[in-house]
Structure 1
Amino acid sequence: MFVGHETLAFALVALAAVHYGLGRERALALGVAAGLFAAIPDVDMAYAPLGLLTVHSADALAAANAFWGASTAVHRAVTHSLVVAPFAAAVFALAATRTHRHRALAGAGALALVGLTLAVSGVLGGAVMVLYALAGLAVAILARRRLDLGPRALAATALVGLLTHPFGDLLTGTPPDFLYPLPWHLLAARPQPFADPTLDLLAAFALELTCLWAGVYAYHRVSGTPLREPLHGRAAAGAAYALAALVITPPTLDVSYHFVFSVVAVGAVGVVEPTKRRLPDPASAAVTGLAAVTAAGVGYTLAYLLL
């Protein structure tokens, strides 16, 4: 789950802003900021490409396993903590102010985060926290300058983005270390709602799609644009992906690449218009492509259950 983190945070904040009477532009700005902050915890994946250096063959599966294996060294720990998030949100908001005192406090807070992580997790954890802090500071400064958000708005949107992100990872891979750096763990293992590992994967895929649709709905609800306007009927062609259940090995969370890459490729339906030589507008491509992928996911799930 990568994009779903951002769209869920965007949806929650944008819809809440409209509900409490803020204007459309302000609500969208707050939602965008929350979405950007929600992307920050995954900076810990920057270490994962180093795993490719250990691969000595051209086998794609071996490379993928090395990539994800290296990611587990620091992924979903330092940056996915519900304990760290409130402190980090305050640091990011203070850093974007125009007051030297507040910036000094932000710098001290960032150094404290890095120092704590170094003490608890060593050099690798400390390096990841440096990336986390730099990414958060960059997003906060960008949101202040481009979206005209003040410290309170930045703190609130950062808090929503950072706190919601870990929960989106519950159904995939290693559970986040919610209480880092405390020695307790909320979850020892990933929840497995089904006895069938393929259904576990499909549940995680459904969660991602739900988060994406939440973002799409929120944007159209806040902007006042009808959702059906950018949606093209050719998205229904995605249902043909159900035939894939007859030819591909049932995917699991451990081996899912063949399913993920092929089902996401169905989204190209949103870009290709057979009757026109020009590309569709981005909104139509995104919504139609997402609808096609959703139809593909539903079709595959039904076919898998019936086989």
Structure 2
Amino acid sequence: MFIGHGLLAFALVAAVAARYTTDRRALALGVLAGAFATLPDVDMLYAPVGLLWADGGPLALAEGFWSASTVVHRAATHSLVVAVVAAPAFAAWARGGPSGLLGGTLLGALVVASFAASGFLGGLVVGAFVLGGLAITTVAARRGVPPLAVLPTALVGLASHPFGDLFTGEPPRLLYPFETTLLVERVPLSGDPVLHLLGAMLVELATFWLAAVVYLHLTDQRLSDYLHPTVALGLPTGGVALAVPDPTLSLSYPFVFTVLGLGAAIGVLVGALDRLRSRERHRPLAMALTALAAVTVAVFAYLGVYLAA
């Protein structure tokens, strides 16, 4: 889900910006929004600590990782309150001068408030969030993005992120640091845990396709030029995935790793075949889009077999 946050924000901002500016500038603004949309997951920096006490194979390591992540994950950095303060603060910082001082003060206040509300670890996470946002803002300024454009891109990126987490795990604390809770449980896509996970995967894949379509449109390219016949290998993968336990949110790794492993293998295969044939098309893009198509086919194939069983 980490990449999907950024791709969704990229697609939304780039598509809207293209109506008011050049395609190249729209792409740049989309990338900036995508960077801000990935920023809230900086709170996962603490999660690797869980690997230290995990004892066992890959599943135990994964469980330790995610258990540790829940200590601070989806709290301060996923808050809409924090987003509406941080976005204008980053934009003010980009302006420099008195505005920059005001922006820095607001960001410092966010760190202090998080220390007060969540202790040392919470303050540390928000501190990393602030530093990451300042780094993104600085790079954007050096690339010629005006401060006025930082505000909407940062706001869309930061505010859209928590809504992508509503289908998996615990719902974000949307009003942190306030105790008011808007959502107490994840949004169910189905009462069947397998269908719920498959639905969440398809939502994620939809964000990938949306970003791909927007990018290809703004660069005047066609999807068909980048798809390789090896996409068809996704069909038997749906059958192979039946050999692993039924995928659910609590036991998703065997299925997800099987499907994504297929996509990675097909992407590498496409790159190798293009190199052998000296194809002129952009290899990384052909590899990525063919892999994405194969994974999508595999998930639908598994879904079809599951529903028919």
Residue 195 of structure 1 and its aligned partner are, at CA, apart by: 1.6
Query: Structure 1: which amino acid aligns with 2:52?
Result: L
The whole-number CA distance in structure 2 between the counterparts of 1:188 and 1:275 is 49
Partner of 2:52: 53
The whole-number CA distance in structure 1 between the counterparts of 2:189 and 2:11 is 26
The whole-number CA distance in structure 2 between the counterparts of 1:51 and 1:275 is 40
The whole-number CA distance in structure 1 between the counterparts of 2:267 and 2:60 is 32
Query: Structure 1: which amino acid aligns with 2:47?
Result: A
Quick one: structure 1 residues 87 and 270, their matched pair in 2 at CA, closer, same or farther if it must change by over 3 Å? Answer: same
8 Å Cα contact 2:241-2:258 kept in structure 1: no
Residue 96 of structure 1 and its aligned partner are, at CA, apart by: 2.1
The whole-number CA distance in structure 1 between the counterparts of 2:43 and 2:242 is 37
Partner of 1:195: 191
Residue 100 of structure 1 and its aligned partner are, at CA, apart by: 2.3
The whole-number CA distance in structure 2 between the counterparts of 1:61 and 1:242 is 22
- Alignment RMSD (CA, Å): 1.4
Q: Which moved more, 1:250-259 or 1:235-244?
A: 235-244
8 Å Cα contact 1:245-1:303 kept in structure 2: no
Number of residue pairs aligned between Structure 1 and Structure 2? 303
Instruction: Say if 2:15 is the partner of 1:18.
Output: no
The whole-number CA distance in structure 1 between the counterparts of 2:171 and 2:165 is 7
User: Tell me, which stretches of 5 or more residues in structure 2 are unaligned?
Assistant: none
The whole-number CA distance in structure 2 between the counterparts of 1:193 and 1:29 is 34
The whole-number CA distance in structure 1 between the counterparts of 2:57 and 2:283 is 38
Name which of 95, 111, 116 aligns with 1:114.
111
Could you report, residue by residue, the CA deviation over 1:180-207 in whole angstroms, capped at 9, with x for unpaired residues?
Answer: 1111111111122312111111011011
Partner of 1:213: 209
Could you report, residue by residue, the CA deviation over 1:264-300 in whole angstroms, capped at 9, with x for unpaired residues?
Answer: 1121212214655559711111111100110111111
Quick one: structure 1 residues 122 and 275, their matched pair in 2 at CA, closer, same or farther if it must change by over 3 Å? Answer: closer
Instruction: Say if 2:141 is the partner of 1:139.
Output: no
Could you report, residue by residue, the CA deviation over 1:17-66 in whole angstroms, capped at 9, with x for unpaired residues?
Answer: 112x31111100110100011010000000000111222x3422221111
Partner of 2:261: 265
Q: Which moved more, 1:227-236 or 1:155-164?
A: 227-236
8 Å Cα contact 1:94-1:151 kept in structure 2: yes
Partner of 2:62: 64
Partner of 1:156: 152
SS in 1 for 2:100: helix
8 Å Cα contact 2:266-2:291 kept in structure 1: yes
The whole-number CA distance in structure 2 between the counterparts of 1:5 and 1:14 is 14
Between the two proteins, what is the percent identity of the paired residues? 48
Pick the structure with more helix per residue.
Answer: 2
